[in-house]
Amino acid sequence: MRTDLRNLLVAAGLCFSAAASAQDMLRINVTTLPPSQFNPFRTTGLPAAYTWSAIFEGLTTFDEKGQLQPHLATSWENTGPLTWVFHLRKDVTFSNGAPLTSEAVVNIVDFLKNKATNTEGVARMMFFLDKARAVDAHTVEISTTVPTPMLPRFMTQLYMVEPKYFNQVGLEAFAKAPIATGPYIVESIQPEKVRFRAFKQAWRAPKVERLEIRGLADQPTRALAVQAKQADIAMQIGPEEIAAIVAGGGRKVTWLDAQTWSYNFIGGRNPALADVRVREALNIAVDRNTIINTLLDGATIPATQPATSNVYGFNPDLPPIPFDPPRARQLLAEAGWGKGFKLVLEAVSGSGPNDDSINLTVAQYLSDIGVNVEFRPITSNDIISNSFTGNWKGDGFAIAYSFSPTLDALRALDTHSCLAAHPWYCNKAVMPLISAAQTELDTAKNLQLRRDIMAFYRKDWASLFMFQQARFAGTSAKVSGLKVVNNLISYDQITLK
């Protein structure tokens, strides 16, 4: 069996050298490496975050319960409607030996506000930034153009880069040879892998000397590498792959992301989807509990709305979505689509646990009410690109409502609303609520506004809401300490026997 696994991996081009298999090398397989390499401002989501968290850090972070915690900043306070003050750690250095000071924060705020770079994903997310001012070496004041009550949550994504080097070489060169504060230093970047060495002077120094991250789109191949002892960790695999790894002496690690998996409808593409009764019918035609129990090892819970329960603004009053095919058929008939219709959905294969099987099962449930679903393959990079360009080919697509990095209900609405440059869902009736929630400083009021928005999306059946995204990773027996919170891997906590 071991020889067969090795032959399969060699055929897939995955053959590590003897040096790479030494005890001081941690080998991780992910779905793909960041297409922007180490430009940490291009996007905020997966799978890039798995790689970037080896070197980049923000001012704040979240714990496993979704509570905001200090990170590069030790504390902060709101000093006015448009100003916040952050106090930086005094024991942090960049990987070139330069100390972390307020200058780094000021420099990144200036960069994100620059018209030449404000198309970057993080710049768009932090559109409200005005300026930053160094109060002293480790105290910085950040000003916003509008009241931003959730600013400390956004600071999880304000990654610190060494300012003098960054300004000297520019973003493109920096992305190929980054200097930051995290546990590792980039050694080499190749199309299919990135190698790192430990940054021993980091304030969160790693326990493993070297790190290699490989991009492998094929889910079974990522898992087979762990079984064949050609990798230590396989990220984003499914329950079946996990079972095989555990049977071979490996370990299973599971967690829930702050994401709601959904099938999203593109406005104006399919006339049937313009009727809210049709969108409701699609939602109540799918048995989420059966999908979760049979295809996701019971590792998650059905969605009731866009937000997950650990997100600020989750509405606990929204009931479960029922499984009611007879009612779904009735709704289609009332909407004039009793004879059914065709629905073309684009979806990535291998980016989530059992996603192909889930897509097929959803298609079967919908066919039972007369909706003929065709799933067309698309890549992760196409998803990212199409989100910016609107270049979708079908009537809808599979993607999560992602609330990382802020764990705020408004975070996903940057794309799942009229706020997007090329929105797939745009109901102008909800926009006054979103606008009010963005700037409301009163805690009780801004929480209620978010809950009202979640109720609106549920009532309007903005998407086919599925479940909170479950994640599975398989590790070799020698790995311990793997923890993933808010898409970030705590590399400093991983050990090898």
Structure tokens that stand for 120 in this block = 């970057």
CA dihedral 313, 314, 316, 322 (to 10 degrees): 140
Q: To which H or E segment does residue 480 belong?
A: strand 479-480
pLDDT tens readout for residues 206-245: 999 999 999 988 888 999 999 999 999 999 888 889 999 9
Q: What pLDDT was estimated at residue 22?
A: 47
Residue 315: which residues within 8 A CB-CB, separation 6 or more? 304, 305, 307, 450, 451, 452, 454, 455, 458
Q: Mean pLDDT over residues 144-149, rounded? A: 92
- Using DSSP, state whether 135 is helix, strand or coil: strand
pLDDT at 6 over 60: no
Q: What pLDDT was estimated at residue 119?
A: 75
Strands 484-485 and 488-489, sheet pairing? antiparallel
Q: What pLDDT was estimated at residue 110?
A: 94
Structure tokens that stand for 327 in this block = 């009612």
CA distance 375 to 360: 8
pLDDT tens readout for residues 96-108: 999 999 999 999 9
Q: What pLDDT was estimated at residue 439?
A: 87
Give 446-452's long-range contacts (Cβ < 8 A, gap of 24+).
446/149, 447/312, 447/313, 450/307, 450/312, 450/313, 450/315, 450/408, 450/409, 450/410, 451/313, 451/314, 451/315, 451/317, 451/409, 452/315
Exposed, middle or buried, 432 (CB in 10 Å: 0-12/13-18/19+)? exposed
Q: What domains are there in the chain, each with its CATH number?
A: 2-56+182-250+476-496 (3.40.190.10), 60-164 (3.90.76.10), 256-471 (3.10.105.10)
Q: What pLDDT was estimated at residue 350?
A: 67
Q: What pLDDT was estimated at residue 351?
A: 67
Q: What pLDDT was estimated at residue 100?
A: 97
pLDDT at 402 over 60: yes
Q: What pLDDT was estimated at residue 405?
A: 87
Given pLDDT bands bounded at 50, 70 and 90, which one contains residue 38?
very high
Q: What pLDDT was estimated at residue 44?
A: 81
Given pLDDT bands bounded at 50, 70 and 90, which one contains residue 12?
very low
pLDDT at 285 over 60: yes
CA distance 142 to 39: 22
CA distance 257 to 280: 25
pLDDT at 3 over 70: no
pLDDT tens readout for residues 343-384: 999 998 766 788 889 999 999 999 999 999 999 998 877 887
pLDDT tens readout for residues 251-261: 999 999 899 99
Given pLDDT bands bounded at 50, 70 and 90, which one contains residue 124?
confident
Average pLDDT score over the chain: 91
pLDDT at 2 over 60: no
Given pLDDT bands bounded at 50, 70 and 90, which one contains residue 10?
very low
Given pLDDT bands bounded at 50, 70 and 90, which one contains residue 35?
confident
pLDDT tens readout for residues 450-485: 999 999 999 999 999 999 999 999 999 999 999 999
Q: What pLDDT was estimated at residue 217?
A: 83
- Using DSSP, state whether 469 is helix, strand or coil: strand
pLDDT at 326 over 80: yes
Assessment of whether the complete model's pTM goes beyond 0.85: no
pLDDT at 1 over 80: no
Q: Mean pLDDT over residues 43-63, rounded? A: 91
Exposed, middle or buried, 158 (CB in 10 Å: 0-12/13-18/19+)? buried
Q: What pLDDT was estimated at residue 477?
A: 93
